[in-house]
């Protein structure tokens, strides 16, 4: 079930990019945050609009679209932005989230 911020991310990205595939995962539960938090997300975006763009330009494009959320409730965003050819070559999702170490405890 999508949460409000997760749904906002999906709407913004699908409206701002020609997405062939879009996954937005709320990974907040894997971090040291209160239950039900919406602060840590992972997005996988497959779009032909990324053709010819370096990785950093793709990430900037996504960060620009999500600037308002990144300035507010979203604390962390992991991004995989690939072209359809790269998606097929890699066999689908390539990102796996490392285990959270719990932060500094401050």
Average pLDDT, the chain: 87
Average pLDDT over residues 61-82: 95
> Can you give the pTM of this predicted structure?
0.82
CA 101 to chain centre: 20
3-state class of 21 per DSSP?
Answer: strand
Nearest to 21 by CA among 5, 8, 10: 10
- As a whole-number percent, the residues of the chain with pLDDT over 70 amount to 85
- The per-residue pLDDT for range 4-51, each reduced to its tens digit, is 999 999 999 999 999 999 999 988 878 877 777 788 899 999 999 999
Q: What is the mean pLDDT of residues 78-102?
A: 78
Please answer whether residues 39 and 33 qualify as being in contact, where contact means their C-beta atoms are separated by less than 8 angstroms. Answer: yes
| Predicted pLDDT at 98 | 53
Indicate the DSSP class of residue 28: G
pLDDT on residue 82: 95
Q: Is the pLDDT of residue 61 over 80?
A: yes
For the chain, give every domain's residue range.
Answer: 4-78
Q: Which fold has domain 4-78?
A: GMP Synthetase; Chain A, domain 3 (3.30.300)
């Amino acid at each position: 079930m999508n949460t409000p911020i997760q749904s906002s991310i999906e709407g913004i990205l699908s409206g701002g990019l020609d997405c062939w595939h879009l996954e937005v995962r709320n990974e907040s539960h894997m971090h040291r945050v209160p239950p039900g938090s919406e602060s840590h997300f992972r997005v996988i975006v497959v779009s032909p609009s990324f053709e010819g763009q370096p990785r950093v330009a793709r990430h900037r494009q996504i960060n620009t679209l999500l600037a308002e959320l990144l300035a507010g409730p979203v604390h962390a965003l992991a991004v995989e932005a690939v072209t359809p050819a790269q998606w097929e070559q890699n066999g689908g999702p390539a990102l796996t989230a490392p285990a959270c170490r719990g932060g500094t405890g401050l």
